[in-house]
Amino acid sequence: MSAFLRATMVVCLLCSPVVLQAQHRFIAQDKGRLSIVSETGKIEWSMNWGGIHDIHSLDNGNIFTHRGTELCEIEINSKKVVWEFDCKKLFPDIKIEVHSFLPQSNGDVIVAVSGAGKIIRINRKGEILKQFVMKLLTPHPHKDSRLMRSAPNGNLIVSHEGDGYVREYTVEGELVWEYPIPMFGRTAAGGHGVESFGNSVFSALRLDNGNILICTGNGHSIIEVTPEKEIVWSLHQNELEGIQLAWVTTMEVLPNGNRIFGNCHAGPENPQLIEITPDKKVVWSFKDFDNFGNSLSNSMLLSAQGVNKR
């Protein structure tokens, strides 16, 4: 190879945009399939499955998710549902939806039941062991709750989509903290994509510093809020170069402080998953509109240790 050709190749490499391949193995659902994506961005496992709003990995390696109101445990190798329970059996006379749940180490499951407006704890027989009523200003089977997560002290942090509130409850049902999602001086706009706007909060989790990190759904943002309700960090729709945020959904925090979040309904021009540093530098992004579409609302890392998802 001539010196001129080598120099030309170096210049081209330096001038070409850097394409980041997937650095995380994860599981997600869209286009009617539940799929595991490898660190190189390739589909390594998939099975037919409908839309989901929550997903967890159990200590035995199985996946815990849902089909509508049915809670399901899936054995990865066989792709078989090895346990399922339809929460509709507990509320036969009312319309309910299930969007979030927390499998417990002893096999119990804590479930947020929209429509019933309750958080219940059941065993694997489907028996209610404990329950309490959530605070709801605008009850609705589809919007009472989105994701629910555990705080380090065992409290439950619930995103109330319809109310536009994040609320923290003790396991006995006492409301100990609540926060209204701000509109930042804007008026609501309908739709699901980048053109929409509102306070339909999707998820929230407690950071190690005690603050709450909130994905505001169609607020196109992530905000970090202190227990005193002061916003100390935020990321808004157009802050990341070349990326526009739409419905900001799931959130996981890596041990190094980086945040990985879902960017749903953002169209094929934008990535579906994004990792940023606390100073808002994009470390990694994932976009695959062949295998996943515009409704990749939930994902879960499988390869990272020490992730704060709770």
In the chain (310 residues long), the average pLDDT of successive 10-residue segments reads: 41 40 86 96 97 96 97 97 98 98 97 98 98 98 98 97 98 98 97 96 96 98 98 98 98 96 98 98 97 96 78
| Per-residue pLDDT, 1 | 45
| Per-residue pLDDT, 72 | 98
What residues contact 35, with CB distance under 8 A and at least 6 apart?
27, 28, 29, 43, 45, 46, 291, 292
Residue 281 to residues 139, 170, 254, 258, 277: CA-CA distances in angstroms? 38, 35, 14, 9, 5
Give the Cα separation of 308 and 254 in Å (integer): 6
Q: Is there a contact between 228 and 212 (Cβ–Cβ < 8 Å)?
A: no
pLDDT tens across 119-166, in order?
Answer: 999 999 999 999 999 999 999 999 999 999 999 999 999 999 999 999
| Per-residue pLDDT, 309 | 76
- Three-state DSSP at 149 gives strand
| Per-residue pLDDT, 23 | 86
Half-sphere exposure of 252 (CA within 13 A, CB side): 23
Which pTM was predicted?
A: 0.92
Give the Cα separation of 193 and 51 in Å (integer): 18
Give the Cα separation of 201 and 126 in Å (integer): 29
Give the Cα separation of 215 and 223 in Å (integer): 7
- Three-state DSSP at 286 gives strand
- State the DSSP code for 147: -
Domains of the chain and any CATH numbers: 31-301 (2.130.10.10)
Reading across the β-sheet that carries 109-114, which strands appear in turn?
97-103, 109-114, 118-122, 128-133
| Per-residue pLDDT, 87 | 98
Give the Cα separation of 290 and 268 in Å (integer): 10
